[in-house]
Structure 1
Amino acid sequence: MFQINRDVLAVQLQNEVAKFIQESMELIMREELQNFLRVEHPDEENSRDGYCQRELQTRYGKIEDLNVPRDREGAFHTALFEPYSRLENWLDEAVISMYTGGMSTRDIAQFIEKMYGTKYSPTTITNITNVVLEDVHA
């Protein structure tokens, strides 16, 4: 009888989900840019200017070659993630949740590295929590 290797199947599934997420994000960003140029700024002499590739860590896995559309003026920014960000906001939210749950910044950094392959220093963890806590107090 044929036995399926669960680890191989899990990796294949994760790759397919990441591919689907990448394709969906790229479609959304193309539509965002089209709306930006035609609806929000129709009178400006701006146009598409190809793509830049970037890496983005998502809750579904790492997307290594995400095509982010750009405009000639450099005025367009997608709403999907912050400019120059390499991580979705979910990871910052997870860090806050772990920190408020009592985990140390060193433990959080080690957890993230083991789970996602993304290295956060304890100082970065502290900076993330401080920014969010300042917003909460404000």
Structure 2
Amino acid sequence: MSNSILNSDFANQLENMIKDFVQEKLEFIMREEIKNFLQVEQEHVQNSRNGYYHRTLDTKYGKIEALTVPRDRNGDFQTQLFEPYQRQDGWLEQAIIKMYQSGMSTREIGKFIERILGSTYSPTTIVYY
């Protein structure tokens, strides 16, 4: 077995460990947020937890496929980690702006992001960032 295959396997394992760690910490923060929300911010309101929903979130550490986000019965809870319907954590917008400012074309940026995230980004989509 060649060194490059071993290095590639190690890199993939390390990447997965980092993504799992980030997911675990984000979910922990959100559990604490909803706990605080229900016990402190809405202590006099009839409200309780109502399970979870799953969200895909693109982070600079990779794509987290099934981030578990808590919800409440009244639908009032909103995590401070990201906005409703947000799918990226902000790093992508900053990277696109920097690449564009450095002289990359929108087509080149789209191809680069597609290689990183695996999803298609058209030049028109890049312009809206």
**What is the TM-score of this pair, normalised by structure 2?**
0.91
Task: Output the amino acid matched with 1:118.
Answer: S
CA–CA separation in structure 2 for the residues paired with 1:43 and 1:89: 35
CA–CA separation in structure 1 for the residues paired with 2:119 and 2:41: 36
CA–CA separation in structure 1 for the residues paired with 2:86 and 2:94: 15
CA–CA separation in structure 1 for the residues paired with 2:124 and 2:19: 29
Give how far 1:110 is off: 0.7
What does residue 58 of structure 1 align with?
59
Q: Matched residues, percent identical?
A: 54
CA–CA separation in structure 2 for the residues paired with 1:32 and 1:51: 13
Q: Which consecutive aligned stretches of 4+ in structure 1 deviate over 3 angstroms post-superposition?
A: none
Q: Which runs of 5+ in 2 are unaligned?
A: none
> 1:79-136 CA distances to partner (integer Å, 9 max, x unpaired)?
11121112111111111111122211111111100122132221111111xxxxxxxx
Residue 15 of structure 1 aligns to a residue whose secondary structure is helix
Q: Which runs of 5+ in 1 are unaligned?
A: 129-138
CA RMSD in angstroms comes to 1.5
State whether structure 2 residue 121 is matched by structure 1 residue 116.
no
Superposed counterparts of 1:41-120, under 5 Å: 41-120=42-121
> 1:42-101 CA distances to partner (integer Å, 9 max, x unpaired)?
211111100001211111111111100011111111111121112111111111111122
Q: How many residues align?
A: 127
Residue 75 of structure 1 aligns to a residue whose secondary structure is coil
Residue 19 of structure 1 aligns to a residue whose secondary structure is helix
State whether structure 2 residue 39 is matched by structure 1 residue 38.
yes
CA–CA separation in structure 2 for the residues paired with 1:120 and 1:43: 46
